[in-house]
């Protein structure tokens, strides 16, 4: 249960982090309609925010109901209402497939990748430059950099394929953009917190958990030896519980 709560807390942090990143670019467009860089990023990031967080809300609410057992299912408890309210998100905000097609449109019509690639490249470069004194941050930045390079290859590969082939992999592309952007933002937060608080900050623990779970798939032996959820539970979940 501690591991599940750590994973749920990290998922929540990831969803919120990505959403605020997308909202930042949307706000910049509202403030300056001629900001082409912000517009391209907004067009790419906003449909992915809807696609990912809507599904994450449904999955998390469903598991929260399971955790509470029979109490979670009956009408006089809160989790069944949370699940019902969450289920409307991937319907009203846009079905997953429709939003994935909108991601392709943003790349094809607005050339959103022309803003996205240099934006993430610059921000990862800053992290890599400033994180040299912290071995964990440096390692995490290297993992995200490798994923970012793969994502650029994904962009290029789909650009050479027919539309039906691109549509086939649109949801995977959206997932990869979400992961790279979220990881970059979490590393930025970890870098800032580490400079203030020292290591290990909660932000670094969250970033590490997210990056290593999303981009690294450990083998069975490594998994069996991992007790990080127990070691980081109070830092990741416990502090939130006392707020």
Reported as a single tens digit per residue, the pLDDT across 79-134 is 888 999 999 999 998 899 999 999 999 999 999 999 999 999 999 999 999 988 88
| 204-212 average pLDDT score | 94
Reported as a single tens digit per residue, the pLDDT across 34-57 is 999 999 999 999 999 999 999 999
- Residue 76 is part of which domain span? 2-242
Reported as a single tens digit per residue, the pLDDT across 9-31 is 999 999 999 999 999 999 999 99
Number of domains in the chain: 1
What is the C-alpha to C-alpha distance for residues 122 and 103, in angstroms, rounded to an integer?
Answer: 22
To 5 degrees, how large is the angle CA 115–CA 119–CA 122?
Answer: 145
Please report which confidence band the pLDDT of residue 148 belongs to, taking 50, 70 and 90 as the band edges. very high
Window from 125-134, 185-194, 225-234 with minimum mean pLDDT: 225-234
| 213-237 average pLDDT score | 78
User: What pLDDT is stored for residue 132 in this prediction?
Assistant: 82
User: What pLDDT is stored for residue 232 in this prediction?
Assistant: 86
User: What pLDDT is stored for residue 109 in this prediction?
Assistant: 94
94: left (phi over 0), alpha (psi -120 to 50) or beta: left
User: What pLDDT is stored for residue 173 in this prediction?
Assistant: 96
222 pLDDT more than 80: no
DSSP string of the chain, one letter each residue: -HHHHHHHHHHHHHHHHHHHHHHHHHHHHHH-TT-HHHHHHHHHHHHHHHHHHHHHHHHHHHHHHHHTTHHHHSTTSSHHHHHHHHHTHHHHS--HHHHHHHHHHHHHHS-THHHHHHHHHHHHHHHHHHTTT-HHHHHHHHHHHHHHHHHHHHHHHHHTS-HHHHHHTHHHHHHHHHHHHHHHHHHHHHHHHHHHH-SS-HHHHHHHHHHHHHH----HHHHHH--HHHHHHIIIIIHHHH-
């Amino acid at each position: 249960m501690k591991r599940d709560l750590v994973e749920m807390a990290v998922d929540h942090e990831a969803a919120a982090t990505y959403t605020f990143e997308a909202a930042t670019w949307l706000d910049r467009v509202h403030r300056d309609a001629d900001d082409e860089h912000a517009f391209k990023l907004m067009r790419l990031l906003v449909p992915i925010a809807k696609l990912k967080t809507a599904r994450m809300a449904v999955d998390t609410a469903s598991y929260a109901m399971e955790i509470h057992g029979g109490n979670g299912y009956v009408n006089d408890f809160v989790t069944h209402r949370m699940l019902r309210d969450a289920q409307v998100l991937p319907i009203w905000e846009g079905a997953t497939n429709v939003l994935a097609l909108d991601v392709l449109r943003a790349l094809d019509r607005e050339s959103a990748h022309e803003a996205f690639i240099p934006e993430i490249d610059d921000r990862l470069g800053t992290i890599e430059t400033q994180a040299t004194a912290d071995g964990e941050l440096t390692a995490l930045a290297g993992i995200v950099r490798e994923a970012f390079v793969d994502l650029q290859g994904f962009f290029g590969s789909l650009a050479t394929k027919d539309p039906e082939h691109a549509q086939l992999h649109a949801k995977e592309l959206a997932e990869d953009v979400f992961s790279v952007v979220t990881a970059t933002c979490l590393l930025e937060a970890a870098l800032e917190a580490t400079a203030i608080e020292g290591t290990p900050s909660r932000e670094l623990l969250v970033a590490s958990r997210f990056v290593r779970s999303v981009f690294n798939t450990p083998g069975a032996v490594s998994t069996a030896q991992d007790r990080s959820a127990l070691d980081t539970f109070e830092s990741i979940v416990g502090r939130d519980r006392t707020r």
